[in-house]
Amino acid sequence: MKYMILLYGSQRDYDLLAGKPAEAGEVGWTAEDVAAMHAFMGRWNQELVESGEFVDARGLAAPVHTRRIQGLRDGVPVVTDGPYPETEEVLAGYTIVECDSFDRATEIAARIATCPHPGGDTSGLYVDVRPIDEGPGAALDA
């Protein structure tokens, strides 16, 4: 069964990772912090490749480079450029794994909580794990 592990962030996270200064009360990212995060993610992905569970992974561009297409207004789709002030968290990237169970996919995703983060506080970090619907008749394990 395939599962998508969805990673989230905000425009501010992207700004801090790009080296923009932290505001009062924020923890900034140093070049070393960014390198440690990339090294962690590289190891995480490589371990999944070696275990045969890796399918695909991608990071997404910052929310500022997003367009949202909504329903029709006066017969025309409504297109809005990001970022969206009403949306704090956005999809930042994903990893697709193929493994034996939802529990194993959850175990893989839970390792993200150990990803290095400035100040060591990962309490606000979260990821979602969702089974991939492979079409009609595909069974989802409970």
pLDDT of residue 140: 60
- The average pLDDT across 114-121 equals 87
Q: How confident is the model at residue 141 (pLDDT cuts 50, 70, 90)?
A: low
Handedness of CA 107, 110, 112, 116 (dihedral sign): negative
* 69/39 Cα distance (integer angstroms): 35
Pick from 9-18, 78-87, 121-130: least confident:
78-87
pLDDT(118) > 90: no
Whether 53 and 97 have beta carbons less than 8 Å apart is answered as yes
CATH fourth-level superfamily of 2-131 = Dimeric alpha+beta barrel (3.30.70.1060)
The two three-digit tokens of residue 29, written as one number: 């990212």
Q: How confident is the model at residue 138 (pLDDT cuts 50, 70, 90)?
A: low
Q: What is the pTM of this model?
A: 0.86
Q: What is the 3-state secondary structure (H, E, C) of the chain?
A: CEEEEEEEECHHHHHHHCCCCCCCCCCCCCHHHHHHHHHHHHHHHHHHHHHCCEEEEEECCCHHHCEEEEEEECCEEEEEECCCCCCCCEEEEEEEEECCCHHHHHHHHHHHHHCCCHHHCCCCCCEEEEECCCCCCCCCCC
* 62/33 Cα distance (integer angstroms): 19
pLDDT of residue 89: 87
